[in-house]
């Protein structure tokens, strides 16, 4: 047991000094890690955290801006569609108005042509009547002169008139 006690005492003395040295070494190592590693590591972590937060903020701002631009584009597209529909409606109205104008003009032209034709027909009719009157007058004068030249009986006069009428009819 004596040996055991000495060994145990020596181990205790020896172990106690080592423990203090190890404890001091450990504390010195902790201080060095804190000063040279932990501080820069924490600074890096803080910088990284700020960077990520900024990126999230920028992404949110970009998303909001994109949503705003999308809404603006939707409004502009709706306005463009409305403008296009208005243009189509105006074009249809103009086409309808032009169609009505063309139809009215055509009706007026047809009426004018019809009236002109009726006037021309009436003029031609009057000319024809005047020509027939002139021919009848000439024929009457001719017949009368022939009748006067010859004294004929009633039968001969009728035959002569009939022959002259046929002659005038064939000349026409």
Q: Encode pLDDT of 122-142 as tens digits.
A: 999 888 888 887 887 777 777
Calculate the alpha carbon distances from 138 to 116, 133, 135, 168 in Å. 32, 8, 5, 10
pLDDT 10s digits, 29-52: 988 888 888 888 888 999 999 999
State the pLDDT at residue 63.
94
The model's confidence at residue 2, banded by pLDDT at 50, 70 and 90, is: very low
Where along the chain do its domains lie? 41-152
Residue 143, class by beta-carbon neighbours within 10 Å (0-12 exposed, 13-18 middle, 19+ buried)?
middle
Sequence-ordered list of residues with C-beta below 8 angstroms from that of 142, at least 6 positions apart, any chain: 164
Q: Is the dihedral of CA 54, 57, 60, 62 positive or negative?
A: negative
State the pLDDT at residue 15.
66
φ/ψ of residue 103, rounded to 5: -65, -45
Does 1 have pLDDT greater than 50? no
The model's confidence at residue 162, banded by pLDDT at 50, 70 and 90, is: confident
Does 117 have pLDDT greater than 60? yes
pLDDT > 70 in the chain, percent: 83
- How far from each other are the two terminal CA atoms of the chain, in whole angstroms? 180
């Amino acid at each position: 047991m004596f040996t055991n006690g000495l060994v145990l005492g020596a181990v205790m003395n020896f172990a106690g000094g080592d423990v203090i040295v190890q404890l001091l070494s450990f504390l010195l190592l902790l201080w060095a890690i804190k000063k040279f590693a932990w501080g820069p590591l924490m600074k890096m972590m803080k910088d990284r955290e700020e960077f990520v937060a900024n990126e999230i903020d920028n992404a949110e701002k970009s998303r909001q801006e994109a949503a705003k631009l999308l809404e603006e584009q939707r409004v502009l597209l709706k306005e463009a569609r409305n403008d296009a529909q208005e243009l189509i409606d105006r074009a249809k109205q103009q086409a309808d108005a032009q169609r009505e104008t063309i139809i009215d003009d055509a009706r007026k032209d047809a009426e004018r042509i019809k009236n002109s034709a009726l006037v021309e027909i009436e003029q031609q009719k009057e000319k024809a009547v005047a020509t027939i009157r002139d021919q009848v007058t000439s024929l009457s004068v001719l017949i009368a002169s022939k009748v006067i030249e010859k004294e004929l009986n009633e039968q001969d006069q009728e035959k002569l008139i009939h022959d002259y009428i046929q002659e005038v009819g064939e000349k026409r």
